[in-house]
Amino acid sequence: MSKKPTSSGNNVILIISRHAARLDYETRDAGSNYTKNSPRPQDTPLSSEGFQQALALGDKIHSLLKEHGLQTSVRDFHVYSSPLLRCCQTAAGAVKRLSEIRNSGDLDEPQPQERSKSDDETKETKPILEGTKLKIEHGLIESLCPSWYTSWCLPDSDSTWGFHKKLGLGCGPHKRDVHPDDIKKLSGSVHSYAKACVTEALLCHDEILQQDGMYGIQIDQGYTNCYTLNDQGYKWGNFEPRDETYNRMEYVAKTLTRKHAEDGGNCVVLCVSHGGPTTHLYERLSGADWETHGICGYTGTSLYAYKGEDTFDVITYNR
Q: How many domains does the chain have?
A: 1
Mean pLDDT along residues 157-178:
95
Q: Is residue 293 part of a domain?
A: yes
- Which is more confident, 103 or 100? 100
- Domain containing 134 equals 12-40+51-142+214-232+243-316
Per-residue pLDDT of 231-278, as tens digits, reads 999 999 999 999 999 999 999 999 999 999 999 999 999 999 999 999
Mean pLDDT along residues 28-41:
96
- Over the chain, what is the mean pLDDT? 91
- Which is more confident, 52 or 174? 52
pLDDT confidence of residue 260: 96
Closest CA to 9 of 283, 252, 292, 311: 311
With a pLDDT cut of 70, the percent of the chain lying above it is 89
Here the CATH number for the domain that contains residue 16 is 3.40.50.1240
Mean pLDDT along residues 24-29:
97
Please state, in angstroms and rounded to a whole number, the distance separating the CA atoms of residues 286 and 195. 36
pLDDT confidence of residue 281: 98
pLDDT band at 75 (very low <50, low <70, confident <90, very high): confident
Say if residues 191 and 152 touch (Cβ distance below 8 Å).
yes
Q: Is residue 273 part of a domain?
A: yes
Whole-prediction pTM value?
Answer: 0.91
pLDDT confidence of residue 4: 55
Mean pLDDT along residues 11-35:
97
pLDDT band at 103 (very low <50, low <70, confident <90, very high): confident
Q: Is residue 157 part of a domain?
A: no
Closest CA to 136 of 97, 90, 74: 90
**With the C-alpha atoms ordered 191, 154, 207, 131, is the resulting torsion angle positive or negative?**
negative
pLDDT confidence of residue 124: 47
pLDDT confidence of residue 127: 37
Q: Is residue 6 part of a domain?
A: no
Q: Is residue 147 part of a domain?
A: no
pLDDT confidence of residue 315: 98
Q: Is residue 179 part of a domain?
A: no
Look at strands 267-273 and 301-308 and give their pairing: unpaired
pLDDT confidence of residue 73: 72
Q: Is residue 155 part of a domain?
A: no
Mean pLDDT along residues 130-142:
92
Mean pLDDT along residues 119-128:
45
Query: First-to-last CA distance in the chain?
Result: 9
pLDDT band at 8 (very low <50, low <70, confident <90, very high): low
Q: Is residue 272 part of a domain?
A: yes
Mean pLDDT along residues 102-115:
56
Mean pLDDT along residues 134-141:
98
